[in-house]
Structure 1
Amino acid sequence: MPFAELGDVQLHYQLDGTADGPPLVFANSLGTDLHVWDQVVERLPKELRIVRYDLRGHGGTPATPAPYAMGTLVRDAERLLDQLQVKGCIFVGLSIGGMIAQGLAIKRLDLMRGLVLSNTAAKIGTAASWQKRIEAIKRDGIEAVADNIMERWFAPAFRKSPELSHWRDHLLQQSVEGYIGCCAAIAGTDFYTPTSGLRLPTLGIAGSDDGATPADLVRETVDLIPGSKFELIRRAGHIPCVEQPEAFADRLITFLREQGHI
């Protein structure tokens, strides 16, 4: 398992595809890790240089003391790409990963040539709602909110499948410190004004049954960027790369081809 030494944290990452191929970078959502992309990555052209990493306090990346600022999470991504000498990537961000994608584009447009904003927004929820979740987790652990999160993450049909228990267990395996640290980062983020200043090819992806970032919210954010495209994936919730990986990969591949990235 490779790690990038970023000063105060060792960022766990994974490389797939071709070492000198056009770069494609993935950032995961709150409560998951880089394996959330497994079924999408296996469907992508082998010519790509694929970089996946675990957010601070998620998966193989250790937690640092909470709370985190969004600027810290953006800096983690920036330093990783600089270390790996990644330039001109398409950056795919899911939920909080999509907020990191926006922040990185605002700060270091030289690193990317396109954005894929999946199930995310310029602002997600309210500071009060996130603080309520943080307090519940501090008191009773992630288990206290797990069932509610599963309802917000997945469409009804998926919640009846055996796979649900895997992703619930996956959520419970995440560091409490890392989870509440990232909650705090989301709570303090409002990218509406800076994102409206972005000028780069952008694809927005939403799930028809997303209870965390509804399709209209995703569209509202994507529409801030002139020339952007929006795609709705039916029968998918907040994690369409898990529920509908083939549909997600198809839309991503089409976007990569439109940009001449493959």
Structure 2
Amino acid sequence: MPHIEVGGARLRFDDEGRRDGVPLVFLHGWTADRHRWDHQMAHFAPHRRVIRLDLRGHGESEGVPRSLDELADDVRVLLDRLDVDRFVPVGHSMGGMIAQKLALGHPERIERMVLVGSISRMTYSRGRGLLMAVSTLLPFRLFVSANIHRAFGPGHPREEVRAYVRASAATPREVVMRCYDAMRAFDVLERVGEIRTPTLLLHGYHDIQLPVAQMLRMAKGCPDAVVRIVDAGHELPVEDPAAVTAAVEWFLTAGAQRDGAGPVG
């Protein structure tokens, strides 16, 4: 199993598919792991290079992240060691925030970008902010359970939701809380106009974790953004993986041709 050592942490990754063309780099969300992208890996690996990793402290990777900047730097170091220059980040939720960090910090390396259920600033009503603050006082498993249950849209099988709660609660507490605080503080909304690469904003209509309205605020400031809404909640890669794959495929082929470029191979 391939690993790299970065800043004292051992990070697990997969690098599959063809070695020519611009690779897709999949970035999972909070308390998740690289297997959120199993459907996309199976679809794209036969004809594209695809890379995914367990972010620091998640899945089979070690360490405790200090910030989203550190997580973004982990991705950059991995790609440097794999001799990858330009790439297409595909990030879900926190992974989308990391993708934005990469796009703003290293714009010359971003071919296109896909943000799945992600935003550029977390904004809360007074009541929601109070509720989130109180939730951090809950026992750890209840805190994780409350957040993961909210992430799924209505009607998703309860046993599957419970399985994801168990998997999320297995993430070390310090990792969970560090990343939670980092996401709450994340704010690049005033800078999204600097992102000049074509960007797909793919969002669940029933997302109450990061509501559609907040994504649309980002879309207004992002000059090259395309918006697609899916009938799902926040956990799009789990709730409707086929819709995510189809949207990414469209964006890399038909979308690229619409913009006057060839498919991203």
TM-score over 0.5 (shorter chain): yes
**Letter in structure 2 aligned against 1:249:** T
Q: Which residue of 1 aligns with 2:249?
A: 253
Residue 259 (structure 2) aligns with: none
Go from structure 1 to structure 2 and tell me whether the alpha carbon gap of 1:130 and 1:105 turns closer, same or farther (over 3 Å shift): farther
Query: Are 1:93 and 1:99, in contact at CA under 8 Å, matched by a contact in 2?
Result: yes
Mapped contact 2:32–2:58 kept (Cα < 8 A): yes
What is the CA deviation profile of residues 173-212 of structure 1, one whole-angstrom value per residue up to 9, with x for unaligned ones?
A: 1111111121122132210122221111100000011111
Contact 1:33–1:54 under 8 Å retained in 2: yes
Q: CA deviation at 1:146?
A: 3.1
Relative to 1, partners in 2 of residues 1:166 and 1:39: Cα closer, same or farther, differing over 3 Å?
A: farther
Which residue number in structure 2 is paired with residue 237 of structure 1?
233
SS in 2 for 1:40: helix
Residue range with higher mean Cα deviation, 160-169 or 51-60: 160-169
Residue 196 of structure 1, aligned match among 183, 193, 198: 193
Cα offsets for 1:91-130 (capped at 9, x unmatched): 111111111111111111122111101111111246x669
**Could you tell me whether the CA contact under 8 Å between 2:10 and 2:63 is conserved in 1?**
no
Q: C-alpha separation between the residues in 1 aligned to 2:20 and 2:192?
A: 30
For 1:74 and 1:130, the matched residues in 2 are separated by 29
Q: What residue in structure 1 maps to residue 260 of structure 2? A: none
Indicate how the Cα distance of structure 1 residues 178 and 253 shifts in structure 2: closer, same or farther if over 3 A, else same: same
Quote the Cα distance in structure 1 between the aligned partners of 2:29 and 2:134: 16
Within-5 A mapping of 1:91-170? 91-125=89-123, 132=133, 135-136=136-137, 140-141=139-140, 143-158=141-156, 160-170=157-167
Quote the Cα distance in structure 2 between the aligned partners of 1:130 and 1:113. 39
Name which of structure 1's ranges 15-24 and 245-254 shifts more when overlaid on structure 2.
Answer: 15-24
**TM-score between both structures, scaled by the size of structure 2:** 0.88
Quote the residue 1:39 is aligned against: 39
Q: Cα distance 1:129–1:255, how it changes in 2: closer, same or farther (>3 A)? A: farther
Name the CA distance, whole Å, in 1 between partners of 2:54 and 2:137: 24
- TM-score normalised by the chain length of structure 1: 0.89
Aligned to 1:76: 74
Indicate the residue corresponding to 1:61 in structure 2. Answer: 61
Identity score, percent:
27
- Conserved? CA contact 1:151–1:211, under 8 Å: no
Aligned to 2:24: 24
Does the CA contact (< 8 Å) of 1:21 and 1:47 recur in 2?
A: no
Relative distance call for 1:226 and 1:24 in structure 2 (3 A) is same
Match of 1:227 among 224, 229, 237: 224
Which runs of 5 or more structure 2 residues have no equivalent in the other structure? 257-262
Q: Name the CA shift for 1:180/1:133 in 2 (closer, same or farther; >3 Å).
A: farther
Q: Which sections of structure 1, spanning at least 5 residues, go unmatched?
A: none
Q: Number of residues paired by the alignment?
A: 255
Per mean C-alpha deviation after superposition, the further-off stretch among 36-45 and 101-110 is 36-45
User: Distance in 2 between the 1:3 and 1:136 partners?
Assistant: 35
Q: 1:20 is aligned with what amino acid?
A: D
Say which SS state the counterpart of residue 252 (structure 1) adopts: helix
The SS at the match of 1:105 is: helix
Q: Are the counterparts in 2 of residues 56 and 63 from structure 1 also a CA contact under 8 Å?
A: yes
Pairwise CA RMSD of aligned residues?
Answer: 2.2
SS in 2 for 1:93: strand
Pairwise CA distance, 1:151: 2.9
Contact 2:16–2:45 (Cα < 8 Å) also in 1? no
